[in-house]
A and B are shown apart, each in its own frame.
Chain A
Amino acid sequence: MKKITLICAAGMSTSLMVTKMKEAAKKLGEEVEIRATSESKFKQYENDTDILLLGPQVGFLLNKYKQTYESKGMKVEVIDSIDYGMMNGEKVLKNALGL
């Protein structure tokens, strides 16, 4: 089962996104575990994440996370800002699984 973690500043708006993605996962019949957390708490989940998605508002942290985690086999990407704004859970989920 793929484990996806979303991060933003406080984990607030990403938690909205997570709800939408979970709905999409159910509809598509995908077995995934999705969670949202704040940037400062991500360390807790570093060993429990296959795909790391950054909210576009913390996209400036992409290189920092890529450097730390890509070598460990984690996929790191920034969520497309329009998909994020429209809370398009299905598209974000599909893109994430396609990484």
Chain B
Amino acid sequence: MNKSNFSEKLQRFALLMQSNRYLQAISNGLMSALPILMIGSFAVLLAVLPIAPWQTFIKTTGIQAILLIPYNIAIGCLALYVSFLVSYKLVESFEKEPVVPALVSVFCFLLVTPISIFEKQSAFLLSWFGVQGLFTALIVSLVAARLYIYVLDKNWTIKMPAGVPPTISNVFSGLIPAVIVGLFFLIIAGVFSHTHFKSFTQFIYTLVQTPLSSLGSNFISLFVIVLIQMILWFFGMHGSLVVSSIITAVYLPMDLQNLQAFSTGQPLPHILGQQFYNLYAGIGGAGGTLGLVILMLFIAKSKRLKTLGKLAIIPGCFTINEPVVFGVPMMFNPIMAIPFISVPLIQILVAYIVTYIGLVPPPAGVQVPFGVPVIVAGIMQGSWRIGLLQLVLIVLSLVIYYPFFKKLDDQSLKEELNAEKTNQQVQA
């Protein structure tokens, strides 16, 4: 297979992944929940901050219990929010009015969630609204939204006479789809209540979520994902964007399980997770280029690389490295291919081993937005040792990049000198 042919195939793959509206709906829906996830995360972080006087203070004043409330309502009810957001995003991608179907999706999610009965009081267990119900929420919201659109497109709707305000006719046009979607999930709920799973949610949790998260906790899976991502980047495509929906769907639930354990002081169940990926798979941007940028800034002889180093160092600390990828350039660069693709893989491998043997704790799963600077982001995951590990990995990337950087620098310097010479000759 020749190079351009391969590149074209990759382009098609990237476009396919990126334009898949279901993956996009999951990814964008979960992203819309980020503000709430952050409130919950920071509340936990404050509640368990390991500083003795602070702990005594919040325990005696009862503030700790209060801090755990936003956690339970934010992260503990994520599935409920997601059942709204994901179907909202999916319907929006079909360019239809999204509020009613999103609400119908919440309704359906509640339909399939088991109701527990305690001494004649019936109640939803909060646990079904959290991580345990997350996959059900994703499935229900995609199916509910898609079915709603299908019925709408079939035109099985109640037509309002002309002149009725659109807001009102919208509500009526949603009536039949809502009833059909609701009925569909009612049947599912009914059927599953007669199986030994007792509910659809339990069924999904046992059959899908558990195997999927064991796949997710397998290091090889992450290794392959990052490898695909880096090959895409090497061909100049935003690999991180392409794999982001998979990362979110598989690894976010693991983060949240860690956070749950973290909030109660239990040992963290997972080493991997979305935060592990954010922290270690590409420090300073895809390819772990922060080490390279430091080399360019401080020891480059080539003027072009030095300028680029100055330009890229600050964005790099915030994990933005497009100037490096396209300016060095890293893409299609045979000299840089080896470190560019291997550095993030080595970084996650080292981080995994170091975490596995217990030198550094796993990330607590605190949800922080993209763009928190390196090392600070590490410390926010519950331990200064995570920040230190990031620093060590930066030094490691610097060492790996060094021989390749030297070659690149010599080459650029030669080009610059040649250009100067020809310039002088022209002037003379």
Which A residues are within 8 Å of any B CB, using their own CB?
8-10, 12-13, 16, 39-40, 55-61, 63-64, 81-82, 84-87
Can you list 16 A-B contacts with CB-CB less than 8 angstroms, sorted by A residue number?
A9-B238, A12-B320, A16-B315, A39-B18, A40-B28, A55-B238, A57-B236, A57-B238, A57-B325, A59-B237, A63-B15, A64-B15, A81-B236, A85-B323, A86-B304, A86-B308
Q: Decide if B236 touches A12 in the complex (CB within 8 Å).
A: no
B35 contacts partner chain A, Cβ-Cβ < 8 Å: no
The B contact surface, by secondary structure, is helix
Q: Decide if A61 touches B18 in the complex (CB within 8 Å).
A: yes
Please tell me which one of the listed residues A58, A63, A85, A87 contacts residue B238 in the complex, with CB atoms under 8 A apart: A58
Q: Decide if A82 touches B327 in the complex (CB within 8 Å).
A: yes
Residues of B within 8 A of A64 (CB): 15, 19
Shortest B305–chain A CB gap in Å is: 11
Known A56-B331, A82-B329; 10 more pairs at CB < 8 Å: A40-B24, A56-B326, A57-B236, A57-B241, A61-B18, A82-B326, A84-B322, A85-B322, A85-B326, A86-B304
A66 to B24, CA, bound (A): 20
Q: A64-B15, A82-B326, A86-B327 are in contact. Are A10 and B370 (CB under 8 A)?
A: yes
Q: Decide if A81 touches B326 in the complex (CB within 8 Å).
A: yes
B166 contacts partner chain A, Cβ-Cβ < 8 Å: no
Q: Which residue of B lies closest to A17 (CB)?
A: B322
B residues 310-355 near A (Cβ < 8 Å) are: 311, 315, 318, 320, 322-329, 331
Please tell me which one of the listed residues B315, B320, B331 contacts residue A81 in the complex, with CB atoms under 8 A apart: B331
Please tell me which one of the listed residues B304, B308, B322 contacts residue A13 in the complex, with CB atoms under 8 A apart: B322
The A contact surface, by secondary structure, is helix
Q: Decide if B326 touches A84 in the complex (CB within 8 Å).
A: yes
Q: A81-B329, A86-B308 are in contact. Are A8 and B238 (CB under 8 A)?
A: yes
Number of A-B residue pairs at CB separation under 8 A: 81
Q: Decide if B311 touches A57 in the complex (CB within 8 Å).
A: no
Interface string of B13-34 (1 = CB under 8 A from A): 0110011000010001000000
Q: Decide if A60 touches B18 in the complex (CB within 8 Å).
A: yes
Q: Decide if B370 touches A57 in the complex (CB within 8 Å).
A: no
A35 to B147, CA, bound (A): 37
Residues of A within 8 A of B318 (CB): 12
* Residue of B238, B304, B370 with most partner-chain A CB within 10 A: B238
Residues of A within 8 A of B50 (CB): none
Q: Decide if B315 touches A59 in the complex (CB within 8 Å).
A: no
Q: Decide if B236 touches A56 in the complex (CB within 8 Å).
A: yes
Residues of A within 8 A of B328 (CB): 85
Shortest A62–chain B CB gap in Å is: 9
Shortest B87–chain A CB gap in Å is: 16
Q: Which residue of A lies closest to B286 (CB)?
A: A57
Q: A9-B240, A81-B329 are in contact. Are A60 and B14 (CB under 8 A)?
A: yes
Residues of A within 8 A of B403 (CB): none
